[in-house]
Amino acid sequence: MDIRAYLDSTYLKTNEQANLVEADNVLVVKTFIEEAIREHFKLIMIRPDRVALAKKMIQEAHSNVLVGTVIDFPKGQSDLASKLAEAQQAIADGADDLDFVCNYEAFKKGDIGLVKEEILKGTQLGLAHKKVVKWIIEVAALNNGQIMQLSALIKNVIMQNFKEEQYASVFVKSSTGFYVTPNNEPNGATLESIKIMLENASPLPVKAAGGVRNYEDAVAMIQLGVQRIGTSGAKAIVDGAHTQNGY
């Protein structure tokens, strides 16, 4: 099974997280972009300040690789105006996919109105510019009941406010890959969490991010029904190896 069309090859480390100076981290970003082009992955997922670079490289290579970026990453706790401004800039820079971090802490506190508004407004902005929008719910920060409830909340906001033909452009996504869990527990997608998301987000598509370490994991996720997989080890997974990358 050729899984390249499912893979969002991902590099989201800041200079500090990578322990690199800016110039060296840019070289790493360029390496990921070049690899995505060469391997014909679905998308390259990078930080907002790298979007224009990726778009330029992809256009120069006459490639069909999409450019994705993260919004309000990794905690999702910024106010709505800041979220939308960051998304608007990413659109201007050429992003095809906008992966918003849902304010899952507000959801856990019961501030459902805030969460509904950001899902509505963020999705409206993305779809108005013909972008794919994904909502990251951070499954490692939620219990199974909360995963179910937040997946269903996103689905309901979309179904109540958008047309059926737009549903395929709004994903529920599992994880940032940067959430710090106690005792080295999984901080990304698990089969259990993805099953809950698929059951409760449908008819919206689901993206499994973080935790997919090898080809067998990826195929298992695809067979469950996910339509995208986010990983920083895309090449290793395609080659049948086991990636040691943290996302």
- Positions marked catalytic: 99, 173, 207
Q: Among the residues of the chain, which ranges form H helices?
A: 15-18, 22-39, 51-60, 80-93, 104-108, 112-128, 144-161, 191-201, 215-224, 234-238
Helix (H, G, I), strand (E, B) or coil at 2: coil
Do residues 102 and 135 make contact, with C-beta atoms less than 8 angstroms apart? yes
The tally of CA atoms less than 13 A away on the side-chain side of residue 244 is 0
Q: How many residues does this entry show for the chain?
A: 247
